[in-house]
């Protein structure tokens, strides 16, 4: 008799790309555990499909450790951990706060969760950690220094944990650029944003899920960050 599939943990799946990936995993028959910071429309739909929701605040060490305790009380093994939780704060008017918050959410949380929950992946079957980074790390950002720096640190965690946890656990990253616009983005902004890439399209969240699926299914990829930027590096 075939054992039931182990759950995939996705952090920050309350909206947009994270929620889309959770929905697609459920479509594929994959159990899902997800975190959210605050209630949003659509979360009940995930719960009704059997996904386990855990409220979590990764902006403090106490919040991270509280989540780890709750997670370990819920499950004894995981198929994968997808670090999608993200924060966006401008450098001004409080650059010290911005850097601290970016590093907490993008670096400290994945670092501690990987260290404290890596044993949940050590079950002898396929196991993955996937960090959702950002294409901005390729060249930095004059306007969002803290954000870019924290995502670059997350890229380095991919390399370090791949070396530490292999061969039992694969560790990879995905670095998207423009994936989908926000409702309030005007036509001028959209035109300029699309012109930054060779392909010039708004691809939608499905391309992130396709990359996630590739990393989960390919047994010979670790320590790699997949770039999803439509050819921005060629401009």
Which residues does the annotation mark as catalytic?
A: 147
Q: Are 223 and 158 in contact (CB under 8 A)?
A: yes
CA dist 229 and 136 (Å) reads 10
CA dist 149 and 21 (Å) reads 25
Return the closest-CA partner of residue 99 out of 59, 53, 67.
Answer: 59
Query: Among the residues of 30-178, which ranges form H helices?
Result: 43-48, 61-74, 95-103, 109-117, 145-165
């Amino acid at each position: 008799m075939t054992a039931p599939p182990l759950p995939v943990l996705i952090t920050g799946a309350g909206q947009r790309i994270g929620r889309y990936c959770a929905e697609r995993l459920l479509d594929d028959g994959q159990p899902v555990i997800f975190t959210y910071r605050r209630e949003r429309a659509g979360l009940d739909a995930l719960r009704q499909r059997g996904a386990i929701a855990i409220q979590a605040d990764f902006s403090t060490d106490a919040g991270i450790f509280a989540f780890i305790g709750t997670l370990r009380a819920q499950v004894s093994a995981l198929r994968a951990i997808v670090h999608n939780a993200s924060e966006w704060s401008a450098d001004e008017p409080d650059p010290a706060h911005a850097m601290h918050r970016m590093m907490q959410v993008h670096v400290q949380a994945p670092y501690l969760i990987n260290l404290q929950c890596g044993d949940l992946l050590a079950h002898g079957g396929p196991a993955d950690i996937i960090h959702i980074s950002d294409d901005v790390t390729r060249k930095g950002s004059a306007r969002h220094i803290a954000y870019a720096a924290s995502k670059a640190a997350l890229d380095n965690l991919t390399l370090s944990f791949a070396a530490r946890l292999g061969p039992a656990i694969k560790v990879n990253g995905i670095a998207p650029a423009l994936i989908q616009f926000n409702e309030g983005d005007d036509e001028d902004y959209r035109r300029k944003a699309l012109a930054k890439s060779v392909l010039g399209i708004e691809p939608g969240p499905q391309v992130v899920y396709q990359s996630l699926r590739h990393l989960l299914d390919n047994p010979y990829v670790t320590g790699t960050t997949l770039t999803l930027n439509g050819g921005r590096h060629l401009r």
